[in-house]
């Protein structure tokens, strides 16, 4: 039985306090785990700082080998880790397996990258080279919707670049991360990776810690602003992956029956708790009724339940606060539109909400303008596609977006006009490790994944020699 301890300086240690982690499907306690104090956070940062000089001087091949060993350890334990992830996060077991396996693949992907020095001048006058050096201690902060894959956006990239880490999962989903820490602890020198768990109370101390050089943060826009302010005192670098309100624009030339299932999945996977879920759908008036009917049919047929039960398509909301928030957005939908599927919780135990489709709603409703982050989807009618892009862009968010069309030239043109970090055409939420991912406007700063994401864990150094 795993003990869910903190990992500090290569040792598993009990927390100065403990906390219960709740299964959102049953509301029972999954396990009691360590909860770190400020003093333990300081110990973790001190360990990471002490480990940095030696780790940063290892060869990139040594660090690649460590990442591959970590990937192997994660992959070898997919069944156990996935079950634990389902119990603490709620997602169906198959999705949890995909997330854990995907994380191991992201470790392998980063192990394939390089950070070569670039010679920009080598002449009789001068030799000039651009190098990328590690930053130091990285504070990595992760939310509760994809605790493991989002960890794998950060940890392997930071380590490959030669940094050391203090990693903090979200308060409601720390268990799988702590178990992974236990599995990989002997694959790295002590202090290179430290993992602490908190009750949502150590984020500010991490952000403003004088010995942390960069914060890699994924979470809400509201917290992201606090991270940026907190990081200012020590002039830390920040990468912020924040909230989104992705628009999907569906043109009149698509087949609603063929397209609806794809949009449905883009909106409801992980019970809508996806930063890049389709969160508002703009549909051309010529196919509006047909699209609404299809989406409602899919919502009515959806199997919602405990992620450990076979056949479950959608699990519960991850925590009570989010469950209450989403019920509030359903009320906004009831007020401002017509609910044609769902519209209520399922059962009276667990944080289950039926997939909900709201039609006859438009911009100006909280359900359209804000990030619902749950299984309730507003469908908005439009007449002119260029106008739909203007409405999609009239948001502070700019994470992802999509255009659905048969006319690919028009789709490409509309997509290019959308103010978001990624725009998909005839698909949505397709994330791949080699493609940089990041948000525009209030959806974030900088990017993760790809060579660009790796570069963000480095400091440029120019060596410039006269001859």
Nearer of residues 86 and 172 to ligand NAD, judged by Cβ: 172
- Please report how close the Cβ of residue 126 comes to ligand NAD at its closest, in angstroms: 41
**Which CB atom, from 138 or from 292, has the smaller least distance to ligand NAD?**
138
Residue 175 is a binding residue for ligand NAD (CB under 6 A): no
Stretch that binds ligand NAD, among 76-84, 124-132, 199-207, 350-358 (CB under 6 A): 199-207
Distance CA 205, CA 227 (A): 10
Provide the mask over 384-413, with x wherever binding to ligand NAD is found by CB under 6 A and - wherever it is not.
Answer: ---------------x--------------
Strands 444-445 and 118-122, by their bridges, are unpaired
- In Å, how far from its chain's centre is CA 223? 14
Report d(CA 201, CA 195) in Å as an integer.
15
The answer to the question of residue 226 lying near ligand NAD (CB under 6 A) is yes
371 binds ligand NAD (CB under 6 A): yes
What residues form DSSP beta bridges with 380? 282
Interface residue with ligand NAD among 90, 162, 219, 337 (CB under 6 A) is: 219
Give the one residue of 138, 141, 155, 192 binding ligand NAD; rule: CB under 6 A: 141
Q: In whole angstroms, what separates CA 393 from the centre of its chain? A: 22
Phi, psi dihedrals of residue 461, rounded to the nearest 5°: -130, 130
Task: Of 215, 278, 251, give the one whose Cα is nearest residue 430.
Answer: 278
Strands (E), 322-456: 338-341, 356-359, 376-382, 397-398, 401-404, 424-425, 440-441, 444-445
Q: 328, 139, 99, 145: which is closest to 236 by C-alpha?
A: 139
Query: Any contact of residue 218 with ligand NAD (CB under 6 A)?
Result: yes
Which of these segments, 56-64, 163-171, 338-346, 357-365, binds ligand NAD (CB under 6 A)?
163-171
Q: Which is nearer to ligand NAD, 205 or 308 (CB)?
A: 205
Phi, psi of 138 (to 5 degrees): -105, 135
Cβ atoms within 10 Å of 57's Cβ, excluding its own: 10
88, 241, 371, 456: the catalytic one is 241
| Helix residue ranges per DSSP H, 337-439 | 366-369, 385-393, 408-416
Q: Give the Cα separation of 148 and 169 in Å (integer).
A: 9
Beta carbon of residue 373, minimum distance to ligand NAD (angstroms, whole number): 5
Element at 321 (helix H, strand E): helix 320-336
What is the nearest approach in angstroms of ligand NAD to the Cβ of residue 212? Answer: 11
Nearest distance from residue 340's CB to ligand NAD, in Å? 26
Count of residues interacting with ligand NAD (CB under 6 A): 29
Selected binder of ligand NAD within 62, 112, 200, 233 (CB under 6 A): 200
Q: Is 435 in the site for ligand NAD (CB under 6 A)?
A: no
Q: Which is nearer to ligand NAD, 86 or 443 (CB)?
A: 443
CB atoms within 10 A of CB 6: 26
Minimum distance, C-beta of residue 148 to ligand NAD, in the bound complex (Å) = 12
Q: CB nearest ligand NAD: which residue?
A: 203
Is the Cβ–Cβ distance between 385 and 282 less than 8 Å? no
Q: Which is nearer to ligand NAD, 256 or 374 (CB)?
A: 374
- Judged by CB under 6 A, the chain residues 265 through 284 that form the site for ligand NAD are 275
Given a contact cutoff of 8 angstroms between Cβ atoms, the answer to whether 441 and 419 are in contact is yes
User: Please, which residues have CB within 8 angstroms of residue 269's CB and are 6 or more apart in sequence?
Assistant: 95, 277, 429
292 is catalytic: no
Rule CB under 6 A: say whether 144 interacts with ligand NAD. yes
Nearer to ligand NAD, 136 or 143 (CB): 143
| Window 78-117: residues binding ligand NAD (CB under 6 A) | none
Q: How far is the CB of 277 from ligand NAD (least distance, A)?
A: 8
Dist. CA 448–CA 437, nearest whole Å: 5
CB 268 within 8 A of CB 312: no
Between the alpha carbon of residue 395 and those of residues 28, 247, 330, 419, 420, the distances in Å are 39, 10, 20, 9, 10
Give the footprint of ligand NAD on residues 235-254 (CB under 6 A): 241-244
**Applying CB under 6 A, which part among 26-34, 80-88, 167-175, 179-187 lies near ligand NAD?**
167-175
By CB under 6 A, residue 231 contacts ligand NAD: no
**CB-based contacts of 384: which residues, under 8 Å, 6+ apart?**
none
Angle at 121 between CA 118 and CA 123, to 5 degrees: 140
> Is there binding between residue 143 and ligand NAD (CB under 6 A)?
yes
- Marked catalytic residue, from 33, 99, 275, 371: 275
Which of 207, 239, 259, 269 binds ligand NAD (CB under 6 A)? It is 207
Q: Active-site positions?
A: 241, 275
**Could you list the residues that contact ligand NAD (CB under 6 A)?**
141-145, 150, 168, 170-171, 200, 203-204, 207, 218-220, 223, 226-227, 241-244, 275, 371, 373, 399, 439, 444
């Amino acid at each position: 039985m795993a003990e869910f301890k903190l990992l500090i300086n290569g040792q598993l240690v009990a927390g100065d306090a403990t906390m219960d982690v709740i299964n959102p499907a049953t509301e029972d306690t999954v396990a009691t785990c360590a909860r770190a104090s400020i003093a333990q956070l300081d110990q973790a940062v001190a360990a990471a700082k002490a480990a940095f000089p030696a780790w940063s001087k290892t060869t990139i091949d040594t660090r690649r080998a460590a990442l591959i060993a970590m990937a192997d350890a994660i992959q070898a334990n997919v069944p156990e880790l996935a079950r634990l992830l389902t119990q603490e996060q709620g997602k169906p077991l198959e999705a949890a397996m995909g997330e854990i396996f995907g994380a191991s693949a992201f470790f392998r992907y980063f192990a394939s990258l390089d950070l070569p020095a670039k010679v920009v001048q080598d002449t009789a006058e001068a030799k000039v080279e651009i190098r990328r050096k590690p930053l130091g201690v990285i504070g990595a902060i992760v939310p509760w919707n994809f605790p493991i894959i989002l960890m794998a956006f950060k940890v392997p990239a930071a380590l490959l670049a030669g940094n050391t880490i203090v990693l903090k999962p979200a308060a409601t989903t720390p268990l799988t991360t702590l178990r992974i820490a236990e599995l990989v602890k002997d694959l790295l020198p002590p202090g290179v990776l430290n993992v602490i768990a908190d009750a949502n109370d150590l984020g500010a101390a991490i952000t403003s810690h004088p010995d942390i050089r960069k914060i890699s943060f994924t979470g809400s826009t509201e917290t992201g602003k606090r991270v940026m302010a907190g990081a200012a005192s020590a002039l830390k670098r920040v990468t912020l992956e924040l909230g989104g309100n992705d628009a999907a624009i569906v043109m009149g030339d698509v087949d609603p029956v063929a397209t609806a299932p794809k949009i449905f999945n883009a909106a409801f996977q992980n019970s809508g708790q996806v930063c890049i879920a389709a969160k508002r759908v703009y549909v051309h008036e010529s196919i509006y009724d047909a699209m609404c009917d299809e989406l409602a049919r899919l919502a009515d047929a959806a199997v919602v339940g405990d992620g450990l039960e076979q056949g479950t398509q959608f699990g519960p909301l991850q925590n009570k606060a989010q469950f209450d928030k989403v019920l509030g957005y359903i009320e906004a939908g009831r007020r401002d539109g017509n609910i044609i599927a769902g519209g209520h919780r399922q059962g009276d135990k667990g944080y289950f909400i039926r997939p909900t489709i709201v039609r006859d709603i438009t911009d100006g409703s909280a359900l359209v303008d804000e990030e619902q982050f749950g299984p309730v989807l507003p469908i908005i009618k439009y007449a002119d596609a260029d106008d739909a892009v203007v409405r999609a862009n009239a948001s502070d968010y700019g994470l992802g977006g999509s255009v659905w069309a048969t006319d690919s030239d028009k789709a490409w043109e509309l997509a290019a006009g959308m103010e978001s970090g990624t725009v998909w055409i005839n698909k949505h939420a397709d994330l791949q490790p080699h493609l940089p991912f990041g948000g525009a406007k209030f959806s974030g700063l900088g990017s993760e994944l790809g060579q660009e994401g790796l570069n963000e864990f480095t400091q440029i150094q120019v060596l410039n020699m006269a001859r």
